Amino acid sequence: MSQKIAIVGGGYVGAELAKSLDDIADVTLIEPRSHFVHAPAMIRAVVDPSLLDRALIPYDRLLTNGRVIASKATGIDANGVTLEDGTRVEADQIVVATGSGNAMPFKPQGADIAGLKADNQRIHQQLKAARSIGIVGAGAVGTELAGEIAHAMPDKKVTLISSDEALFGAMPSKLGTSLAAKLRKAGVTLILGQRAENLKSLTEPYAGTLQLTDGSQHGFDLIFPVIGSRAHSEVLQTLAGVQKSTAHRIKVDPWMRPTSLPNVFAAGDVADAGDGMTIVAISRQLPWLKATLSGLAQGKAIEDMKPYKPWGSKAPILVPLGPKQGNSFLGFFTAGDFLTSKMKGADLFLKKYAKLLNRPESRSEHD
């Protein structure tokens, strides 16, 4: 009899793990949203809303043998998952991969996909009307957004503001300096080492004036607050013994378990396993999770299997500035426009995730 595996969260780790186990286990994926939200394409969709239907992909074809339950998990124990309506999903192994949140319109604030589409259209119109745009936060989302606007709307005056002294300061310096040079050449103003002290919203764009730590004031027709993702760890926090780290992530042991429960795992952005909160960084967890869960199904003891080994400082990161430019750190060297465009910028992994969700022609589908 195949093991029952409940996966909570249908993001990058949850959806791909569910599909990889579909033929060898009784898989239940629990995800409140009707559609997979492909975050990198949501950044470009701000300047090109025609991408939206390809960036939002229905879950209904993901699994052949297992099932997808459109609900929110409210509780977890050693025997399974409790849903918001009180329904129980019994499971032998549980993986919590509830992901992280960011400001609109890059990720939805809840499960409302129709509302996300409406927000995208509204913010796109605001962007078209704006002459000056301020972006607060120069992580991957903020930097990519600046590049997308500069590429698609070169008449806009874009300012990228960060409290850090350099772009991607934790990475080899060539990555940040190359990206900064390309942004400046594209007309983007960089204000580094200054914190915005009066953000009126952390969740959606607005018009206003920013006061920085040096006392200067900067007025913008549209301000995008993009100051970092926070993990959706609420359901894990209901477990005894859970410890939070930065950005609401949850600490895990070497086998990615957040508590003493031997059959409950945390993965993806919600797990502080030593990986960054990027698609490429957390993708390293997938083969380990599949191998470990398969081994458990065969009766192996988890302590006899290899613990998870994170990327650490060698984690790759790909930062396109529109479809043709950008830089990437690929573990041992920094790549430029050609490789960054080929690996991510031109297609933004859209074909990969359409295929994952069995929507190879999702460009033409609107359901």
β-strand partners of 319:
327
**Of 102 and 197, the one with more pLDDT:** 197
The tally of domains found in the chain comes to 2
pLDDT digits (tens, 9 = 90+) for 290-317: 999 999 999 999 999 999 999 987 889 9
Lookup: tokens for 112 = 């409302």
Q: Which residues span the domain enclosing 235?
A: 4-32+71-102+229-311
pLDDT at residue 118 tops 70: yes
Predicted pLDDT of residue 29? 99
Cα 216 from Cα 202, distance rounded (Å): 20
Lookup: tokens for 344 = 């991510």
Confidence of residue 287 (pLDDT cuts 50, 70, 90): very high
Predicted pLDDT of residue 361? 57
Scored b (16 or more CB within 10 A) or e, 331-361 reads eeebbebebbbebbbeebbbeebbebbbbee
Predicted pLDDT of residue 295? 95
Quick check: is 332 in a domain? no
* Judgement on whether residues 216 and 133 belong to the same structural domain of the protein: yes
Confidence of residue 1 (pLDDT cuts 50, 70, 90): low
Cα 238 from Cα 25, distance rounded (Å): 27
Quick check: is 148 in a domain? yes
* Judgement on whether residues 123 and 261 belong to the same structural domain of the protein: no
- Mean pLDDT over 81-90 rounds to 98
Which of 223, 208, 43, 42 has its CA nearest to residue 135? 223
Q: Residue 314: what are its φ and ψ, rounded to 5°?
A: -95, 10
Tell me what the pLDDT averaged over the chain comes to. 95
The string of DSSP codes covering 184-202 is HHTT-EEEES--BS--S-S
* Judgement on whether residues 173 and 84 belong to the same structural domain of the protein: no
Predicted pLDDT of residue 365? 44
In the sheet that holds 317-320, the strands lie side by side as 317-320, 326-329, 334-335
Quick check: is 180 in a domain? yes
pLDDT digits (tens, 9 = 90+) for 9-42: 999 999 999 999 999 999 999 999 999 999 999 9
Q: What is the CATH number of the domain that holds 220?
A: 3.50.50.60
Is residue 338 classed as helix, strand or coil in its secondary structure?
helix
Residue that terminates a domain, selected from 266, 290, 311: 311
Cα 93 from Cα 299, distance rounded (Å): 12
* Judgement on whether residues 149 and 284 belong to the same structural domain of the protein: no
